[in-house]
Amino acid sequence: MFLAASLLTVFLPLSITGSPVVEVRDSLTVTLPLTRRLNFSDGTIEFLQRDETRVAAFRNYGTHSRRADSILVTTSFLDYQVQVGIGEPPTIYNLAVDTGSPITWVGASTIYKRTGTSVMSGLSVMANYGDQATGTAFSFSGPIFYDTVTLGGGLTVTWFQLAVAFTLQGFDFGRGFDGILGIAPEDLSRGIIENDQDATIPSFTECLYLQGKIGRQVVGVFFQPVTREPDSQFGELTFGGTDSTKHDGNFAYTPITATPPSSLYWGINQRITYDQTTILGFTAGIVDTGTTFLYLASDAFHKYQAATGATRDQTTRLLRISPNRYNTLQNLDFHIGYTMISLTPDAQIWPRSLNTVIPGGVVGAIYLIVKDIEGRSGRGFDFILGYTFIQRFYTVFDSSRSLVGFASTPFTSATTNILL
């Protein structure tokens, strides 16, 4: 099986100390804090290549005769994690939240500890991550266990299926990263189980719903824009609904696209304009927490580059603009359903305080977050709205109604990235 390396996990392995504070806003909604940590212990990290590898695997998925490909995650520069306990008594694991991963797995840093609630399923996972053609592949294998997952405050999910990484090769996780909490559509897990290629694994959201812990199969995600600050709570994950204290106004909802391969993920249809000029016509792409940047089909990317006056920086492989060009930058608009949402000029640039995290990044330079998906539009996978987009909007992944929704937050129009 072939899986993709991820990124957003932007790198940050982040870790949580102490017991997670879980808020049950009502009997059918559960809210968990997300914590992030920027990892500078080993200097700059080659997360750009990992991001591009993940994008290539997304793009190529579904083109093979057998559905043995899937997308999971490795960490790079930043990630948002939730703390969970597994077993009884529970062992605490810091799991990165990933909308492109169909399963939950542990064993990266903290070894899986079997207890009285651990039951072997007789099933196993064997997978390769990344792109073997470019030499960016990683391997993962291990059994699937049934176990009890504790979210804190006595809230538990029993007989949850999770994969345990007994063998890991080629991964560079960083300290504090223990695995993945996958919230991708369940059908994406088909083909992952080594000895039952037609089987699927229920998602964590579905298990919460089936056990009566939440009222709807909905996940609300709130991130704050990343800055070079100490570890702290910078996000929130709500199962069963949304947190009205974290967003402003109504949601703009749109159905999951029917266009493959985007339809396999949290894929949507939209049109993108810059300065009132269409750069990408109505087409399909995906929303993904595990990708760092905002990717556009090559033809749309080149239109955006020309309109902004950006040049391709040969060292970082990112678009770069001058301060004068930044002063004339216009909103990048996304026409989703009957609503338009926008990335402001500040939201279109990489945080300048983190330029040195990028290999070859120059202090004070202005880099754009828009990257080339390396393929023309019209192939059913024409954009990826990654972390740098999601951090500006409260985002809802609604399995019960097959919808994705966006609402503004106090950070939608905030000025954070241009600051040094």
Q: Just list the catalytic residues.
A: 98, 288
Per residue, the 3-state secondary structure of 150-188, as one string, reads EEECCEEEEEEEEEECCEEECCCCCCCCCEEEECCCHHH
Q: Which residues contact 180 (CB under 8 A, 6 or more apart)?
A: 72, 73, 95, 96, 98, 101, 103, 104, 105
d(CA 297, CA 54): 15
Of 331, 312, 221, whose CA–CA distance to 272 is shortest?
Answer: 331
d(CA 291, CA 270): 19
Structural contact between residues 231 and 37, judged by C-beta atoms closer than 8 angstroms: yes
Structural contact between residues 283 and 289, judged by C-beta atoms closer than 8 angstroms: no
Of 252, 230, 223, whose CA–CA distance to 342 is shortest?
Answer: 252
Of 5, 394, 353, 350, whose CA–CA distance to 170 is shortest?
Answer: 5
Q: Taking phi first (over 0 means left), then psi (-120 to 50 degrees means alpha), and beta for anything else, what does residue 7 get?
A: alpha
Residue with tokens 């390769």: 128
Structural contact between residues 180 and 79, judged by C-beta atoms closer than 8 angstroms: no
Amino acid at 354: L
Strand order in the sheet with 366-367: 311-312, 319-321, 366-367
Structural contact between residues 393 and 403, judged by C-beta atoms closer than 8 angstroms: no
Structural contact between residues 165 and 39, judged by C-beta atoms closer than 8 angstroms: no
Torsion of the alpha carbons at 336, 339, 344 and 348, rounded to the nearest 10: 0
Token representation of residue 199: 């089987």
Residue 311's beta-bridge partner residues? Answer: 320
Token representation of residue 45: 């990290």
